[in-house]
Each structure stands twice: as structure tokens, then as C-alpha cells.
Amino acid sequence: MTTGLIPGGQPPDPRPTGSLPQQRREPVGPAAQHVENRSRSSVITARAAASFEPVGRSVASARSFVRDTLQGWGFADIVDDAVVLTSELVTNAVVHAGTSADVLCLRSDDGVRIEVADRYPEREIPLQATAISMGSPDREGGRGLQLCAALAGRWGVEYIPTHKTVWFQLDLPARAVGTRTAGPALPSDLLPLADGRVRVAVIQIDRTGHITAWNEDAEELFGYPAEQVTGKPLTDLAAWPHTPGTSTGIAEALRLSRWEGSYGIRTATGRVTPVYASHLRVRDTGGEPSTVCLLVRDHERAVLQTPLRGPASDTSTGAEGQSTDPFEVFIGSPAPDDLDGLLQRTVERARDMLDGDSAFLLLATDDETELEVRASTGLPSARQRFARVPVEAGPGRYGSARMPAVHDDLTAVHGAVPLLNGTGMRSVVTVPLKVEGRLTGSLGVAAEAPARYSNEEALRLQFAADRIALAVESARLGELERLRRGSLSFLVEASDLLAGTLDRDQTLALMAQMTVPTLATWCAVYTIADQASEPYLSYVLHEDEELIDGIKSLLSKVPPPDPVPTPGARVWTTPGEVAHQAALRTSMRSLGLSGSPTRQVTPGIGPTLATASAVGGETVVLPLVARNRVIGMLTLGKPTDEHFRQEILELAEDLSRRAALALDNARLYSERTAISQSLQRSLLPPELPEIDGVEVEVIYRAAGEGNEVGGDFYDVFPIRDGAYGFAIGDVCGTGPNAAAVTGLARHALRLLAREGLSGPMVLERLNSAILDEGARSRFLTLLYGEMRPQEDGSAELKVVCAGHPLPLRLRQDGSVEPAAEPQPLLGVIEDLELYEQTVTLDPGDVLLCVTDGVTERREGARMLGDDGLADVLTTCTGLTAGAVAARIMRAVERFASDAPSDDMAILAMRVPGLQKD
């Protein structure tokens, strides 16, 4: 892959120009709105280009290139759409068209244009007057243009003699303008009055209501130096105007996300100065909340006061010309542009409107059977967020979230509102959120005192809920669409990663790494070897590596989840319960307290508090089903009191199906590999025998990945007292078919030699056995000999060379000569006339036997050959048999840079020199 990045400027067109004009393919009819003629009128501010080879892995590389480029440009909002479209178009180029793909990313002020070009332009160019048929969306290929039409703002196809280019443009989402409100130019005498210099007191309050910062203007306005008030509660200085009929005080106002209004500050002189204040709730990088208060003198409120919006054409207008749009009145202006912000603002305003102690908002699932907590205030939000409760909690009107309900005392009707169990809330009013008659959510306000609400408050809350329901549903659908597009991109990349390996352990690691932290805080993978086996804990991962061992220890001591094949996620409470009980017992023991929890914890479990917190949230189990069999379980977990979103569980279910098939494929491949390796090892001879007076060394290399035995073979074995047989041969071809003949030849040699037959007779009978194989027979070159060490320190060899490369004899003086004569190979003709030759190895001599994979080693037009092998052997004088074989192998490997394509065997035998006194 080649890439280039040129920031700024107008880039040249990277495609070659030809004599033929460009022809654009543009849809007509209904699809025309998605396409416009490609132009370069926009100013290009950055350009990134890359080329990808016509191989399958290029698709994943192209996705990574586009993702990294757009994220580097700060366009995270459109990354997922761009990645999905690029993936489809590059797949068309490198897989279906079979050519390389050129990807070009162009950044402009209004969006991003991505072009994918291939070198297969010989396609039919449609006439402009004919409508384009996109084909069936269910077919395997050809969905690239359909996706462009669905996701891109503009797209098109261009043809030139050497290239075909498909391009699409994604526009940046509309962003809020910088100006919030603006007023008309007024005469100077109509401007707000301020006494000289306007001073703005800036005070920062921590979560407990104590002052942490006090600026110079605050000192000037109120007379207190910073060191005198820092650390004191603001309530000691504020003269709060309690509004009749409400219980909101300064402490409550400081906890609101925003607040604006008037109150008084007691100055150092004892007088109360009226001020106008604007409060903003913020948090630091560590998550610690605080409130920033801006205060001016009350008559200078124009400095801080948010101007009211003017009347709009589609809103009603009150007597004073102010907007009375119910949605704007309830939510405030401007409304938050994200779903979470809108929901949080809603519950805060609902709580304040009914003077409640807490409020909550739940959104309905697609099937309207459950409600999911999405925002709350005054409740332990970490515990409640994404928790789910049924829509129909009980019989009757008050048991359904589809109707408004008022409960005067929850203690009298236990479980009427499951969300409030254990929170101390006594009275509650809930109303449904509906869009076009369909339930989309539920809004509730609760108080700690009983009998706080009546039907009048329910009507007020229902009126507000009706005004915000459509905005909430629109924001929810937008969030859901973004999540689904991100899920599609996630699953595409996950499928590529899982399909890229057949190693079981690596597949398990990929499953966990794709899950954490994208879908869950921690995960565990259980595997099942067969139907009679129990689930086995195979892999554990947590986003904090220090917690992995603790979780693994905990899960290894508790019974695994049941391997239920039913699809979908099911809750598994055992890890959280056991961790909680074990941590509680450990804490009590550390405090020296007697007693223990009522539930007995399995001995040996000692998780720390951190481990108990890590697994204390919701834990779900998804079955891994492949080929109609449960092969394992994927367990996902959240930390203490957290729940999973329904959309995340659906995405996890899709991932589990892909992961299960990948894991089963890896299992099958591992089993087949183990069987193959076991069979191949059975074809190799056992350990070499120890021969008195002769050194023997063998080096064997089988060609091909995963092959341990090929068409080459060797053997050294005892025949009878003092005599040993040796052989080195080469079966035509490589791989399993050649290895089958290898096994036949090696075992037949041993059997025939031990029958007392001479070398020629052994090879003649082996030739007949090979010919008897019929169509499976293969011709065979073979060097066979019998060796007998002599009392004078030499060794006598009787050798038959049947079509094999001749053995070479190295003498002590460095000379090299062939040690046998060539004879016909085996497996070709029936009547062979072979003879044996006698060779005597003197002390210090070496006999080198190789297969043709050594002598035919090539580098381009060069070949090592017999002469090259002899030249290397002349440098081995005085070396041991092992050193000779190793030097020959190094010379063969260095002769060419490519990996060997043929099997190789080297057999070296050396008679040691005589020892001198």
C-alpha cells in the first residue's frame, strides 16, 4: 500500500488523461436526488491517497486508512458511513473486479469526498435516458451503489479508458451557530444603566457547598478578602428569598446544572446587597463536580441575564410579546442537541416544576415490553442507568406505564414503582410519553414525603410530557441510527479479524479484545469440547489488566453458566453474588468482627474489594452456537450497579454468532492439523541408532506450511550384529500423496533388509511393491547401502544408487569424489538389473548423501548443482558429521533468498580419525 498526504491547496487530478472524454454514470428518476455532477469548485483543504493491491486483506487496510484519515481531520461524525461505503467499493475493486484500488480522500469546508478507482473500465455505460436498476438488495455483491444512494449526500460513477471511479461525498452535520441571540442597535439613552465599572464576582463552590475560589471583583463587591471566605459555605453569606409554596433553597440551586435568578449576599458591613446570579454546574477532569457562580449587582442584571427569545411565526405570543411555546418554556432555550442532554434537562425541569426530590425518565424498547432508565436526578444514577423495568408492572391502571398514575404512599403498595425500591421515596407521579399513540417512554417525579401529589400535578406533568415526547423520540431515533451505523462498521471489522486466523487461542483473544471495552467492561469465554464435557473457562479479559487475575480466580471457583442454546442474552447473577459475599466476609474478618454472611461462600475464594466491584454490575451470558451445537458461552460484565443497553446486547448477540463460527472453524482446523501431524510423524523413522566407530547426522526439511513429511525420506537402522542399513530417497512430488509412498518405501526397506536379502534384491522387491500400487504408484530415486564398521577403524559400505544423486566421499586431504555409479530408478520398469558397489571409508573420511532438493536449489537462472555441492564439501575437512550437515544446509539456504520449494534431506556419515597417543 502506498499513501500520500498533502495538507492544503488544490491537488492535481491523480488520474491520467486520455483522448476520450470522461463519461459520467448518473441515476435518473427517483435516484437522481442523490447524485450531482462531480466538480472541483469547493476549495480542497487536505488530500490523502492510497493504493491497495488486489488481495482480500486490502479491504481491511482501506477501511483503516479511511478511518485514520477522517479521524485525523476531526470528522468523527461521518467516519462510520465513510468506512462502510469504502469497504463495499474497495471489495468490488479488489475482489470482484480483481484489480488494485486507488482510494482518494478530499477534505473541503463543507464535507469529505472519497473516490475509489479500479482498473477495470470495460463495463456497459448506461444511456442517460434509461433508469438504473440497482438489483436485489439480498444478493451477495453489487450493493456498493445502493449504499452510496442511501448514505451519501452526492455520488457518481466516472469512466475513462484506463480507470473506473466511483465517488461519494458526505456532508458534515449541521452545527450550532456561534451566535445565540442578538439585539437591535439602540440609542445610548436606552441602554441598561451601570454605575461606572461593572464588576462580575466569580465564585466557585465545591460539591459540599463550600467556597473554593473568590476573585477580586467579589472582594470589591462584598468586602470579604478571599482568605476570609474560602472554605466557608455559601449559605452563610446568601440571603435566599424563599418563594412561597416551594422548598427550593440555595443548596438545591447549586446542584442544578444551570440556574439563573436573583438573591442577596450579606456584605462585610452587615448589609444585604441584591445580586443577579448565573450558576453553571461543571466537573473537572477527575469527574469532581463544582458550581461556578457569576454575580453582578441586581440593577446590572442585563450583563448576565439571558435574553428572552422573540416571538416566532409558529408559536403563540403572550401579552408582553414573549414566546409561549410550551416546549421552549419547559426545556429552556437553546434546547440540548444531544439525547442525553435533553433527557437530563427534562428530568431536572420536571423535578423543579413539581418541587420533587427526584425525577426519572425511561424510554421504551422497540417492542414496548420494557422501559430502560436513561436519565434521573436525585436518585443513584449509576445504579439506575440502563436498568430495565416492565411496561406492565401489575394489573389495573396504576400498574401500567401507558397511563398516568399517582401513588400517595409507596410503602403501602410495595413494588408499585420498581425503580424506586430502596430509595426512600414515598409519593410519585408518573405519566407516559407517546408519539402518534405509541408508547415511547415514561416520565416520573417522586418525593420523600407521602401524599405530595394529586391529579392536578399529574395533569401538569402530562402536559409537559406531551410537549417533549416528539423531540425526545426524534433525538432517540437519531442516536439509534448512529449506533446502528457504528455497529455495522464494527461487525464488518470484527468479521474480517475473526476470518483472518484459524488459531484457536488467537480467536479467543480476538473475541475478548473486540468485546472489551467496546461492549463491556470485562468478559470471559467458556468453551465446551464435546457434548459430554463441562464448560471450561478459557479466557478472561478486563479493561484494567490488574483485575484479570482476580476475576479469573473468582470464575474458576464458581459453577459455570448452563450451556443453554436459546439465542439472546440472559442475566447471570452468580459472579456478583459470590464476589459480594466473599468480599463482605473478608472485610468483616479484617475488622475483627465475628459472624459471617448467611450464604456460605465456596472455600478458597478471596477476591479483593476491587474484584467484587468489577463484577458487581450486570452480567449476561450469550451462547456460542455453531453447526447446531453449543460450543461455549460468551460472558459480558459491567462494574458495580451498571446495566447493559438493549442495543449493546443486540450487537453482542450478532458478534457471538460470528465468533462462534470462527471458534468452531479454528477447533476443526486444530483437530485436522493434529491428526495430520500425528500421521506424518508416524512416517518419520525413530531416533538414529548409536553406531560404534561411525558418526551419523541427518537434517530433514519438508516443503510446504504445516508439512512434517514430504516426498523425501531417510532411514538408518540395524540389520544384524555389526551391520547397519542406511537409505535416502526421493518420491516424485511433495505433500501427502508423496508421503504415502514414502511410508511404504521406508517400512519395506527395513523388512526386506532384515530378511537377509542383498541390496539389489531389496530394491528389486521394493520396485515390485511400488508398481503394485497401480494408479497411486510414483517413481522413486533411492540410495541404499549396508555399512559394517571394521576393527582397523575403517567402515565398509555396500551401496546401490537407483537414479539418486550420487553420494560424495570427502577424504582427509580435502578431495571429493563420487562414491557410486548411477543405476535405473524405481517404480518405472518391472525388470531391473541392479548391482552393488563396495566403498571403504578410511578414518577421517565423510560420506555425504543428499536429495535433489539440495542440488537443485535455484536463484534465478543459477543452480547449486553437483559441482557447487562438492565445492562446499571440500571446506568441511576435519569437521564432525553434525558440523558437515549443518554447513551444507547453511550453504543451501544462503544460495537463494526465497524459501525452498522442494523437500530436502541430508545424511552425513563420518569415520572418526585414529586417536594419537
Average pLDDT value for residue range 586-595? 61
Q: What does the radius of gyration of the chain's CA atoms come to, in whole angstroms?
A: 41
pLDDT at residue 199 is higher than 80: yes
For every residue of 745-756, DSSP letters joined together read HHHHHHHHHTTT
Task: Please state whether the peptide bond connecting residue 639 to the residue before it is cis, i.e. omega within 30 degrees of 0.
Answer: no
pLDDT at residue 221 is higher than 60: yes
Contacts of 246 (CB under 8 A, 6+ apart): 355
By mean pLDDT, which of 318-332, 675-689, 747-761 is the weakest? 318-332
Closest CA to 735 of 713, 704, 714, 779: 704
What is the crossing angle of helices 504-515 and 646-683, to 10°? 170
Task: State the DSSP H helix or E strand holding residue 347, giving kind and residue range, or none if neither.
Answer: helix 339-353
Count of C-beta atoms within a 10 Å radius of residue 721: 6
Q: Please, what is the Cα angle at 662 between 660 and 665, to 5 degrees?
A: 110
By mean pLDDT, which of 102-116, 335-349, 351-365, 457-471 is the weakest? 335-349
> Between residues 755 and 97, which one has the greater pLDDT?
755
Average pLDDT value for residue range 146-162? 81
Please check whether residue 731 is in contact with residue 746, taking contact to mean a CB–CB distance below 8 angstroms. no
By mean pLDDT, which of 397-401, 517-521, 723-727 is the weakest? 397-401
For the record, the C-alpha cell of 556 comes out as 474458576
In this predicted model, what pLDDT tens digit does every residue of 101-133 receive, in sequence order? Answer: 999 999 887 889 999 998 776 544 444 434 444
Which band of pLDDT confidence, cut at 50, 70 and 90, is reported for residue 25?
very low
* DSSP E strand boundaries for 77-163: 101-108, 111-118, 154-159
Strand partners, 846: 810, 910
In this predicted model, what pLDDT tens digit does every residue of 649-676 receive, in sequence order? Answer: 888 888 888 888 888 888 888 777 777 6
Please check whether residue 781 is in contact with residue 903, taking contact to mean a CB–CB distance below 8 angstroms. no
How far is residue 172 from each of residues 107, 109, 146, 306, 490, measured CA to CA in Å? 11, 9, 21, 30, 21
Q: What was the pLDDT predicted at 391?
A: 78
Cα–Cα distance between 109 and 73 in angstroms, integer? Answer: 11
- Residue 634 CA to its chain's centroid (Å): 15
Count of C-beta atoms within a 10 Å radius of residue 788: 17
Contacts of 366 (CB under 8 A, 6+ apart): none
Cα–Cα distance between 171 and 394 in angstroms, integer? Answer: 48
Task: State the DSSP H helix or E strand holding residue 630, giving kind and residue range, or none if neither.
Answer: strand 629-637
Which band of pLDDT confidence, cut at 50, 70 and 90, is reported for residue 875?
very high
Cα–Cα distance between 81 and 91 in angstroms, integer? Answer: 16
pLDDT at residue 595 is higher than 70: no
Spatial strand order in the sheet of 723-731: 712-720, 723-731, 780-789, 795-802, 837-841
pLDDT at residue 515 is higher than 80: yes
Strand partners, 25: 157
Cα–Cα distance between 191 and 155 in angstroms, integer? Answer: 53
Collect contacts of 873-878 with beta carbons under 8 A, ≥24 apart: 873/808, 873/810, 873/816, 873/846, 873/848, 874/810, 874/814, 874/815, 874/816, 876/810, 876/846, 877/810, 877/812, 877/813, 877/814, 878/812, 878/844
DSSP 3-state of 113: strand
Q: What was the pLDDT predicted at 126?
A: 42
* Most confident region among 174-183, 211-220, 770-779 by mean pLDDT: 211-220
For the record, the C-alpha cell of 782 comes out as 533411492
pLDDT at residue 309 is higher than 60: no
In this predicted model, what pLDDT tens digit does every residue of 744-780 receive, in sequence order? Answer: 888 888 889 888 888 899 999 988 888 887 766 678 8
Mean pLDDT for all residues in the chain: 78
Closest CA to 753 of 800, 789, 804: 800
Which band of pLDDT confidence, cut at 50, 70 and 90, is reported for residue 321?
very low
pLDDT at residue 135 is higher than 80: no
- Residue 693 CA to its chain's centroid (Å): 61
Q: What was the pLDDT predicted at 291?
A: 92
Task: State the DSSP H helix or E strand holding residue 715, giving kind and residue range, or none if neither.
Answer: strand 712-720
Give a three-class secondary structure readout of 371-404: EEEEEEECCCHHHHCCCEEECECCCCHHHECCCC
Which band of pLDDT confidence, cut at 50, 70 and 90, is reported for residue 917?
very low
DSSP 3-state of 273: strand
**Residues found in the chain:** 917
pLDDT at residue 227 is higher than 90: yes
pLDDT at residue 621 is higher than 60: yes
pLDDT at residue 275 is higher than 50: yes
Phi first, then psi, for residue 312 (nearest 5°) are -105, 165
Cα–Cα distance between 845 and 825 in angstroms, integer? Answer: 27
Which band of pLDDT confidence, cut at 50, 70 and 90, is reported for residue 225?
very high
For every residue of 407-433, DSSP letters joined together read ES-TTTSTTSSGGGTTS---EEEEEEE
Q: What was the pLDDT predicted at 70?
A: 86
Average pLDDT value for residue range 580-595? 66
Which band of pLDDT confidence, cut at 50, 70 and 90, is reported for residue 258?
confident
DSSP 3-state of 488: helix
Give pTM, 2 decimals. 0.47
Count of C-beta atoms within a 10 Å radius of residue 887: 16
Q: What was the pLDDT predicted at 28?
A: 36
Percent of the chain with pLDDT over 90: 18
Please check whether residue 391 is in contact with residue 369, taking contact to mean a CB–CB distance below 8 angstroms. yes
Percent of the chain with pLDDT over 70: 80
pLDDT at residue 560 is higher than 70: yes
Q: Please, what is the Cα angle at 257 between 251 and 259, to 5 degrees?
A: 65
Please check whether residue 336 is in contact with residue 471, taking contact to mean a CB–CB distance below 8 angstroms. no
Average pLDDT value for residue range 609-632? 82
In this predicted model, what pLDDT tens digit does every residue of 49-58 receive, in sequence order? Answer: 999 888 877 8
Cα–Cα distance between 534 and 912 in angstroms, integer? Answer: 59
Which band of pLDDT confidence, cut at 50, 70 and 90, is reported for residue 139?
very low
Cα–Cα distance between 105 and 116 in angstroms, integer? Answer: 9
For every residue of 287-309, DSSP letters joined together read S-EEEEEEEEEGGGGGGTPPPPP
Average pLDDT value for residue range 194-223? 91
pLDDT at residue 421 is higher than 50: yes
By mean pLDDT, which of 364-368, 577-581, 640-644 is the weakest? 640-644
Q: What was the pLDDT predicted at 215?
A: 94
For the record, the C-alpha cell of 886 comes out as 549443518
Q: What was the pLDDT predicted at 799?
A: 94
Please check whether residue 899 is in contact with residue 892, taking contact to mean a CB–CB distance below 8 angstroms. no
Q: What was the pLDDT predicted at 16?
A: 38
Residue labelled with grid coordinates 491428526: 675
Which band of pLDDT confidence, cut at 50, 70 and 90, is reported for residue 828?
confident
For the record, the C-alpha cell of 799 comes out as 551401496
pLDDT at residue 382 is higher than 70: no
By mean pLDDT, which of 136-145, 366-375, 442-451, 695-704 is the weakest? 136-145
Please check whether residue 748 is in contact with residue 777, taking contact to mean a CB–CB distance below 8 angstroms. no
Average pLDDT value for residue range 810-828? 90
Residue type at position 342: L
Which band of pLDDT confidence, cut at 50, 70 and 90, is reported for residue 876?
very high
Q: What was the pLDDT predicted at 890?
A: 92
Which band of pLDDT confidence, cut at 50, 70 and 90, is reported for residue 174?
low
Please check whether residue 430 is in contact with residue 405, taking contact to mean a CB–CB distance below 8 angstroms. yes
Average pLDDT value for residue range 180-201? 74
By mean pLDDT, which of 22-31, 84-93, 544-553, 717-726 is the weakest? 22-31
For every residue of 538-576, DSSP letters joined together read EEEEESSGGGHHHHHHHHHHSPPPP----SS-EE--HHH
In a 10 Å sphere around its CB, with 0-12 CB exposed, 13-18 middle and 19+ buried, how is residue 381 labelled?
middle
How far is residue 697 from each of residues 481, 688, 700, 783, 892, measured CA to CA in Å? 68, 8, 10, 16, 17
> Between residues 327 and 836, which one has the greater pLDDT?
836
Cα–Cα distance between 866 and 534 in angstroms, integer? Answer: 60
Residue type at position 337: D
Q: What was the pLDDT predicted at 231?
A: 93
Residue type at position 534: E
Strand partners, 841: 795
pLDDT at residue 722 is higher than 60: yes
In this predicted model, what pLDDT tens digit does every residue of 786-818 receive, in sequence order? Answer: 999 988 889 999 999 999 999 999 998 889 999
pLDDT at residue 164 is higher than 80: yes
Residue type at position 404: P
Please check whether residue 647 is in contact with residue 608, taking contact to mean a CB–CB distance below 8 angstroms. no
Closest CA to 534 of 507, 556, 566: 556
pLDDT at residue 593 is higher than 70: no
Q: What was the pLDDT predicted at 705?
A: 63
Please check whether residue 371 is in contact with residue 388, taking contact to mean a CB–CB distance below 8 angstroms. yes
In a 10 Å sphere around its CB, with 0-12 CB exposed, 13-18 middle and 19+ buried, how is residue 683 labelled?
middle
- How many alpha carbons fall within 13 Å on the CB side of residue 210? 7
Strand partners, 118: 101, 164
Q: What was the pLDDT predicted at 830?
A: 84
Q: What was the pLDDT predicted at 604?
A: 41
